[in-house]
């Protein structure tokens, strides 16, 4: 009984975090959730990974320099180009 809870905490928690992170990075959430559950190191990889395409609600792609930055930013942090903030989620 308590072992089940223990296992859930050890593998389920990082898997759940990896699942959510993968969605926000445009990666396969099932694959990355599983990887994170087995090797929590993958959470770090996901955390520092910047997507190459725009992911609505999470990352914007700058039309000028082509880099991605957090969705909530209205100015590209690489080239200072203002992006239209018409869509808000
Ligand atoms: Zn830019």
Please write the tens of the pLDDT for every residue from 55-75: 999 999 998 999 999 999 989
* Contact predicate 15/43, CB 8 Å: no
Please write the tens of the pLDDT for every residue from 26-54: 999 999 999 999 999 999 999 999 898 89
pLDDT for res 20: 96
| CATH architecture group of domain 52-89 | Roll (2.30)
* Contact predicate 75/84, CB 8 Å: no
* Contact predicate 22/7, CB 8 Å: no
Ligand 1 centroid vs 6 CA: distance in angstroms? 45
pLDDT exceeds 60 at position 6: yes
Ligand 1 centroid vs 40 CA: distance in angstroms? 32
The CA distances from residue 38 to 13, 16, 21, 34, 80, in Å, are 11, 12, 15, 6, 39
pLDDT for res 21: 95
Of how many residues is the chain composed?
89
pLDDT for res 89: 45
For the chain, the structural domain boundaries read 2-49, 52-89
Phi, psi of 12, deg, nearest 5: -70, -40
pLDDT for res 52: 87
């Amino acid at each position: 009984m308590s072992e089940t809870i223990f296992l859930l905490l050890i593998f389920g928690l990082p898997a759940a975090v990896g699942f959510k992170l993968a969605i926000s990075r445009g990666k396969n959430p099932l694959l990355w959730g599983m990887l994170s559950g087995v090797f929590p190191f993958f959470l770090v990889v996901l955390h520092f990974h910047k997507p190459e395409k725009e992911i609505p609600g999470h990352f914007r792609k700058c039309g000028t320099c082509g880099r991605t930055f957090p969705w909530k930013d209205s100015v590209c942090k690489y080239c200072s180009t203002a992006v239209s903030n018409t869509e808000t989620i």
